[in-house]
Amino acid sequence: MGGAGCLGTSCSYDACSQDGDCASGVPCQCRSSSAKGANTCVTGSGCRTDTDCGDNGFCSPSGASNGSMGWFCHTAVDTCVEDADCVGAGNQSECSFDPAAMRWQCGQSTCSAEP
């Protein structure tokens, strides 16, 4: 399971280094090589890999309005696939997963930072 990692003058403890280090069905969100913070198990996600999403579905990360993030399936009921699909929607500029609607749709920026 995870381990300590130091980036410059700060250290973090990684909760995971791969999906298998997390509970069943929960993905491991690995930080980029330049980011500070720890790798974390992303509870509350709806998928871990594309195969979790069925035929023609795929799994993608999405920010949430509370600043958290998760991984969710794209399906045929989504109203967008990427932010570019939301151009011209006023302040609805980001394609993200809406847990209330259970689909991806255009909305306000969630400002979720990558760990």
pLDDT tens for each residue of 38-95:
888 988 899 999 999 998 899 999 986 556 688 999 999 999 999 899 887 566 678 9
Residue range 101-110, pLDDT digits in tens: 999 998 877 6
Based on the domain organization, do 35 and 52 belong to the same domain? no
Based on the domain organization, do 39 and 53 belong to the same domain? no
Based on the domain organization, do 24 and 55 belong to the same domain? no
Range of the domain at 38: 1-43
Q: Is 69 exposed, middle or buried (0-12, 13-18, 19+ CB in 10 A)?
A: buried
Q: What is the pLDDT of residue 90?
A: 64
Based on the domain organization, do 23 and 51 belong to the same domain? no
Number of structural domains (the chain) is: 2
Q: What is the pLDDT of residue 79?
A: 93
Based on the domain organization, do 99 and 84 belong to the same domain? yes
Based on the domain organization, do 57 and 29 belong to the same domain? no
Q: What is the pLDDT of residue 1?
A: 45
Based on the domain organization, do 60 and 110 belong to the same domain? yes
Residue of higher predicted confidence among 112 and 27: 27
